[in-house]
Amino acid sequence: MPGKLKVKIVAGRHLPVMDRASDLTDAFVEVKFGNTTFKTDVYLKSLNPQWNSEWFKFEVDDEDLQDEPLQITVLDHDTYSANDAIGKVYIDIDPLLYSEAATVISGWFPIYDTIHGIRGEINVVVKVDLFNDLNRFRQSSCGIKFFCTTSIPKCYRAVIIHGFVEELVVNEDPEYQWIDRIRTPRASNEARQRLISLMSGELQRKIGLKVLEMRGNAVVGYLQCFDLEGESGLVVRAIGTACTLDKLSSPAAFLPACNSPSKEMKEIPFNEDPNPNTHSSGPSTPLKNQTYSFSPSKSYSRQSSSSDTDLSLTPKTGMGSGSAGKEGGPFKALLRQQTQSALEQREFPFFTLTAFPPGFLVHVGGVVSARSVKLLDRIHNPDEPETRDAWWAEIRQEIKSHAKALGCHAVVGYSESTSICEEVCILSASGTAAVLNPRFLQDGTVEGCLEQRLEENLPAGCGFCHIPYDELNMPFPAHLTYCYNCRKQKVPDVLFTTIDLPMDAAVIGKGCLIQARLCRLKKKAQAEANATAISNLLPFMEYEVHTQLMNKLKLKGMNALFGLRIQISVGENMLMGLASATGVYLAALPTPGGIQIAGKTPNDGSYEQHISHMQKKINDTIAKNKELYEINPPEICEEIIGSPIPEPRQRSRLLRSQSESSDEVTELDLSHGKKDAFVLEIDDTDAMEDVHSLLTDVPPPSGFYSCNTEIMPGINNWTSEIQMFTSVRVIRLSSLNLTNQALNKNFNDLCENLLKSLYFKLRSMIPCCLCHVNFTVSLPEDELIQVTVTAVAITFDKNQALQTTKTHAEKSLQRASTDNEELLQFPLELCSDSLPSHPFPPAKEHLESASSNSGIPAAQRATSVDYSSFADRCSSWIELIKLKAQTIRRGSIKTTVTVEKASPVGEGNFRNRSSPPCANSTVGVVKMTPLSFIPGAKITKYLGIINMFFIRETTSLREEGGVSGFLHAFIAEVFAMVRAHVAALGGNAVVSYIMKQCVFMENPNKNQAQCLINVSGDAVVFVRESELEVVSTQQPAATCQPSCTGGEVTT
């Protein structure tokens, strides 16, 4: 009996009217866990019932604690007929099961009904008492921490990164059970929600057991998906990376860690630190005389072998398993051996991480991916999900062999996905082949000498670009050059990866979002014929997507892609491919050549003219893009003052490369450099169209940048304003006899228009960057294309782009001063009115001093810490004042009561962990972001994983505002429920938020629609940097100079 779950139902509010006669409701609550149910009393005639129940106690196994959700149902009591359900709340109590996370769940939860949406709120308190588990043969895995974040979470240190964990569970989909014909849609939806919740819990527990076996204590980069296979069942599967994490416990411990380029620094990945010292002096990665031999290459190639219903795509087929380097000597061999042994123990040396502790990633080979087309059949025995397991095992095996072919032992940035249409399913997996440093892979015993030597010599910022494969035995044709950074190793001309840009990578200019979009018509077919047709199309699609990516990359004047994600979706009569990645110019790789157009019918004069015209247009575009993204090849870069890459290390590198300049100059002549130029032959309309589509991509309006990685290369002065959003568009293709071209154009327009709309909507945030732009495409019906985008817009400070070495304190001052400017429109009104006198005068004073300070650089640095904290406080006063200004404008003397109540209190509400935000009436702000960090803030605690699944259905679509109204309301409700759960855990943000599924089905004729949404993320507590600084200055251990804390701002 290892756990006691205690639940208290406090109150409800804003309940719907359930009794038309009295316009009131007689509500009571059922609390269910497992098979035990408790009920509260009926609270008569109220829309705001106060149950204030006793503590309901459930004595349960910890296995159940992990699997089962707590189910709270609010009902309306009816004396004569059956009680009407108002709605439900499912609470995942997993966060209460491990010690460092939340201790209590307490707060207002939206009461959710799958037919009516949110109907009021209920205040609940949940606690768990865990007893020590003495059973050695236990099935539970309480205590394993789960993180969606695909890097080592901020307040932890990775001791060992164990590796890949995966699991899947299957079940019948309640929607397709016979009973569904006789039960209500509500009952069916609830059965589904509950089942998926149960399966998620079970899955998490099983993965936890595997982690325990590996002696880990956490799963990072946990990604759980479900496949709705229709008739054949429901699959919930998850992958993740098992780790042993150490908490950087006290705030004092982690503060200095970030502030000095000490050893700990390395273990906090992803702190993109603008402080150059860290990089230049700090030890970092790869070996100096590393000669893994091997050779460079392009990261990508494909070959396919297809069998009847089963096709595998091989991005890489070479045999080039790494032969040992000649110059490497014993040391390298040793390293290699260790790495290998560490990795080869594992079935799949995969890592779902996309960002790594410094030193972890040694070389990157390129993208590896595999796809396979399967026919779904009924899952006969849910307890033996062997078929699905076998399918995935097959694909993983293929990925592994691709990685080997690239001379790599491991795959990082690994992910899996599916696309299902009727009984055909495409399974896809992709990742980045890489060579890893064994230091993190096993227990410390081996580390000793190795580590030291590792850290001696480091070609910083370019090591990962060096080819891991054999130069003489390349798996595919590629163009190799010596690294432009260290001049010692070979690098490929282009690099594609699925990971985030390593933080120490030397990059020139800014990055940008690059997308390849593609549609292919397919004949409608059944079963095997259909699968074969799809299998036959896949290689062509992959090839075209790749070509598009390559062309667009060159058009941008860049040479590497990060965060590459290729999605192939299958529909009844077409296939769609959407690839998104962030293009950058890696300093280590050669300058990309231009794009040359060649016609095949050279006789026609006007045709030639046309071609040369196109050529000119392309060259102009490349030149324009280079300017836009500030890509200045090294030679020029020297002269450009204020290039956004301020690291001295890089400058010195640039100096070195100057000697080579004579070589390079010719390469700048884009169209004529024959060695690198990419030749496009336009001998048919298809190719013409390709060229056109290249040129139709419009760059974002000025002040906007976009990327699909966590951080935007070249921008590191984020301010704290963030706006996460989801946008969904569905278009209906107009005619039935569509051509591939028309389809492509439609799809392209859809994506481009969507981006344009986003830029327009977010124009008030300029200058800003859309980060982690995540497009998903699906084909819900015959002529429908659905595109869903989730991203976060983050503002940054333009003025500071040139002054990255500035202290954080100064940054916050500037922020305060911009606030001040915004306020300037009010001052008259403010002065003439009787404001509460105490906060105002000091605020004004400090603002003045703050704004005057911001212009003065170094001189005032010493005092700046104090100022910044003031500035921050001022800005909260400003908020208050702003509110007043609004009302004052209408000439009032008093301020409304509520406005005062609602002001900054809300924000501060959750900062104080000791006071749970439960009965408080003000709604606290909960931030949501797909990134693993919050700009301008420090994450101090991870409260647990949020993994929620909702179904919403309507039979009155028109009345709810049509499909747009329906989905808009539903997504807003999903956000609200996520925020409420986070707030109840005591958190104030969700990081690594992802909407994994948004399945929308409509039947306008029947006035019906249904939507399923699955979201996840990590609930966290964050503290604003400015507040943190107050703490840090109080710390006597003053290793932290304010100038160093600057590093945190940008993370």
Partner 1 sequence: MASELDIFVGNTTLIDEDVYRLWLDGYSVSDAVALRVRSGILEQTGATAAVLQSDTMDHYRTFQMLERLLHAPPKLLHQLIFQIPPSRQALLIERYYAFDEAFVREVLGKKLSKGTKKDLDDISTKTGITLKSCRRQFDNFKRVFKVVEEMRGSLVDNIQQHFLLSDRLARDYAAIVFFANNRFETGKKKLQYLSFGDFAFCAELMIQNWTLGAVGEAPTDPDPQADDMDMDLDKEFLQDLKELKVLVADKDLLDLHKSLVCTALRGKLGVFSEMEANFKNLSRGLVNVAAKLTHNKDVRDLFVDLVEKFVEPCRSDHWPLNDVRLFLNQYSASVHSLDGFRHQALWDRYMGTLRGCLLRLCHD
Residues in 898-927 that interact with partner 1 by CB under 8 A: 898-899, 901-903, 906, 921-923, 925-927
Interface with partner 1 in residues 999-1028 (CB under 8 A)? 1000
CB-nearer residue toward partner 1: 808 or 873? 873
**Least distance (Å) between residue 727 CB and partner 1:** 4
By CB under 8 A, is residue 211 in contact with partner 1?
A: no
Interface with partner 1 in residues 983-1002 (CB under 8 A)? 1000
CB-nearer residue toward partner 1: 867 or 966? 966
Do 997 and 1013 contact (CB within 8 A), yes or no? yes
Q: Kindly list the strands in the beta sheet with 989-1003, ordered across the sheet, starting from the edge strand earlier in the chain.
A: 927-928, 989-1003, 1008-1024, 937-954
Do 155 and 939 contact (CB within 8 A), yes or no? yes
**Residue 461: count of CB within 10 angstroms of its CB:** 25
Interface with partner 1 in residues 85-124 (CB under 8 A)? 108, 110, 118, 121
Q: Which DSSP letter does residue 590 get?
A: P
Residue 702: strand, helix, or coil: coil
Stretch that binds partner 1, among 406-414, 555-563, 679-687, 746-754 (CB under 8 A): 746-754
Question: Which token pair is 622?
Answer: 């490349």
CB-nearer residue toward partner 1: 74 or 677? 74
Stretch that binds partner 1, among 459-467, 726-734, 768-776, 1026-1034 (CB under 8 A): 726-734
d(CA 730, CA 788): 9
**Residue 900: count of CB within 10 angstroms of its CB:** 14
Beta bridge partners of 306: 311
**Least distance (Å) between residue 580 CB and partner 1:** 19
**The one among 263, 288, 894, 958 contacting partner 1 by CB under 8 A:** 894
**Least distance (Å) between residue 964 CB and partner 1:** 5
By CB under 8 A, is residue 134 in contact with partner 1?
A: no
By CB under 8 A, is residue 247 in contact with partner 1?
A: no
Interface with partner 1 in residues 12-41 (CB under 8 A)? 13-14
CB-nearer residue toward partner 1: 424 or 881? 881
**Least distance (Å) between residue 886 CB and partner 1:** 6
**Least distance (Å) between residue 299 CB and partner 1:** 35
Helix (H), strand (E) at residue 908: helix 905-908
Interface with partner 1 in residues 48-77 (CB under 8 A)? none
Question: Which token pair is 1012?
Answer: 């399923």
By CB under 8 A, is residue 979 in contact with partner 1?
A: yes
CB-nearer residue toward partner 1: 458 or 934? 934
**Residue 733: count of CB within 10 angstroms of its CB:** 17
CA 621 to chain centre: 30
**Least distance (Å) between residue 885 CB and partner 1:** 9
d(CA 377, CA 144): 34
**The one among 130, 973, 1008, 1033 contacting partner 1 by CB under 8 A:** 973
Question: Which token pair is 727?
Answer: 């946008």
By CB under 8 A, is residue 573 in contact with partner 1?
A: no
Question: Which token pair is 361?
Answer: 């990633």
**Least distance (Å) between residue 541 CB and partner 1:** 22
**Least distance (Å) between residue 752 CB and partner 1:** 10
**The one among 36, 52, 739, 964 contacting partner 1 by CB under 8 A:** 964
**Least distance (Å) between residue 23 CB and partner 1:** 13
Residue 639: strand, helix, or coil: coil
By CB under 8 A, is residue 963 in contact with partner 1?
A: yes
Do 58 and 72 contact (CB within 8 A), yes or no? no
Stretch that binds partner 1, among 276-284, 402-410, 650-658, 875-883 (CB under 8 A): 875-883
Do 67 and 198 contact (CB within 8 A), yes or no? yes
By CB under 8 A, is residue 674 in contact with partner 1?
A: no
d(CA 631, CA 813): 30
CB-nearer residue toward partner 1: 56 or 975? 975
By CB under 8 A, is residue 824 in contact with partner 1?
A: no
CB-nearer residue toward partner 1: 338 or 929? 929
By CB under 8 A, is residue 980 in contact with partner 1?
A: yes
Do 622 and 670 contact (CB within 8 A), yes or no? yes
DSSP 283-327: --S--TT---------S---EEEE-SS-EEEES-----PPPPPSS
Beta bridge partners of 73: 30, 88
By CB under 8 A, is residue 734 in contact with partner 1?
A: yes
**Position of tokens 């098992």?**
242
By CB under 8 A, is residue 228 in contact with partner 1?
A: no
Interface with partner 1 in residues 761-790 (CB under 8 A)? 761, 763, 784, 786
Interface with partner 1 in residues 920-959 (CB under 8 A)? 921-923, 925-928
Q: Which DSSP letter does residue 439 get?
A: G
CB-nearer residue toward partner 1: 4 or 882? 882
Stretch that binds partner 1, among 325-333, 339-347, 523-531, 896-904 (CB under 8 A): 896-904
**Position of tokens 């205690």?**
6
Write the interaction track for partner 1 spanning residues 689-708; mark x where CB under 8 A is met and - where it is not: ------------x-------
**Least distance (Å) between residue 757 CB and partner 1:** 5
Stretch that binds partner 1, among 190-198, 355-363, 649-657, 961-969 (CB under 8 A): 961-969
Do 438 and 338 contact (CB within 8 A), yes or no? yes
- What phi and psi, each to the nearest 5 degrees, are found at residue 547? -60, -45
Amino acid at 184: T
Residue 998: strand, helix, or coil: strand
Calculate ∠ Cα 855-861-867, nearest 5°.
80
Do 203 and 235 contact (CB within 8 A), yes or no? no
d(CA 855, CA 464): 40
Burial class (CB in 10 A: 0-12, 13-18, 19+), 834: exposed
Stretch that binds partner 1, among 16-24, 335-343, 638-646, 970-978 (CB under 8 A): 970-978
Size of the site for partner 1 (CB under 8 A): 73
* Closest C-alpha among 392, 285, 381, 266 to residue 335: 285
**The one among 52, 696, 757, 852 contacting partner 1 by CB under 8 A:** 757
By CB under 8 A, is residue 281 in contact with partner 1?
A: no
**The one among 128, 758, 934, 1044 contacting partner 1 by CB under 8 A:** 758
CA dihedral for 209, 214, 216, 222, sign (positive or negative): negative
By CB under 8 A, is residue 624 in contact with partner 1?
A: no
- Find the distance separating the first CA and the last CA of the chain, reported in whole Å: 44
**Least distance (Å) between residue 1012 CB and partner 1:** 15
**Least distance (Å) between residue 417 CB and partner 1:** 23
**The one among 138, 453, 756, 861 contacting partner 1 by CB under 8 A:** 756
By CB under 8 A, is residue 486 in contact with partner 1?
A: no
Cis peptide before 767 (omega within 30 of 0): yes
d(CA 840, CA 829): 13
Question: Which token pair is 937?
Answer: 């803030």
**Least distance (Å) between residue 103 CB and partner 1:** 23
- What phi and psi, each to the nearest 5 degrees, are found at residue 919? -75, 0
CB-nearer residue toward partner 1: 252 or 923? 923
Amino acid at 466: H
DSSP 809-856: HHHHHHHHHHHHHHHTTSHHHHHHS---TTTHHHHHHHHHHHHHHHT-
CB-nearer residue toward partner 1: 186 or 756? 756
By CB under 8 A, is residue 387 in contact with partner 1?
A: no
**The one among 280, 331, 968, 1027 contacting partner 1 by CB under 8 A:** 968
Amino acid at 400: K
CB-nearer residue toward partner 1: 44 or 899? 899
By CB under 8 A, is residue 336 in contact with partner 1?
A: no
